[in-house]
């Protein structure tokens, strides 16, 4: 289970080593090194071991959360690859029954082509058939 990276415990006026920074933001040292090497988090010049200012660490740790996905409108399903509500390719979807009452609509994303799902009850199929060409 992944844990949330948080900047809540970072003190802005303190400096942190890589290991201390990883501990305080609840991540791994590799994540902190990636922030420095790839994403450009600033370190204090000329220091060994690397020292990171608290305000810089807090800025990066607070900006790592993904934005919430928008709620899909009628006729849309949430694509996990696009991370946005998308229409089904060609308006077609298959209903896969899980038990007698519930199941899921399975379709392809109109934008990226990945599989998208919408969990629903069998009772909602007539309502959903206004938006999708449903095959059982």
CA distance 28 to 38: 15
Residue-wise pLDDT tens digits, 19-61: 999 999 988 999 899 988 888 889 998 888 899 999 999 888 8
pLDDT > 70 fraction of the chain, expressed in percent and rounded: 94
pTM score, two decimals? 0.52
The structure tokens 């996905």 sit at 69
Domain boundaries, the chain: 15-62, 76-135
Residue-wise pLDDT tens digits, 61-93: 887 555 667 788 888 998 888 888 999 999 999
Name the DSSP letter for residue 44: -
* Cis bond upstream, residue 31 (ω within 30): no
- List, in sequence order, every residue forming a beta bridge with 84; answer none if it has no partner: 79
């Amino acid at each position: 289970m992944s844990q949330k990276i948080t900047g809540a415990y970072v003190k802005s006026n303190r400096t942190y080593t890589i290991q201390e920074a990883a501990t305080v933001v609840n991540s791994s040292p590799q994540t902190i090194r990636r922030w420095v090497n790839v994403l450009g988090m600033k370190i204090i010049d000329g220091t060994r071991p690397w020292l990171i200012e608290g305000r810089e660490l807090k800025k990066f740790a607070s900006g790592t959360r993904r934005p919430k996905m928008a709620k899909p409108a009628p006729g849309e399903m949430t694509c996990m690859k696009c991370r946005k509500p998308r229409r089904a390719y060609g308006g077609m979807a298959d209903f896969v029954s899980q038990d007698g009452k519930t199941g899921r609509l399975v379709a392809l994303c109109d934008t990226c082509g990945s599989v998208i799902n919408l969990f629903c009850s069998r009772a909602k199929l007539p309502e959903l058939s206004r938006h999708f060409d449903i095959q059982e």
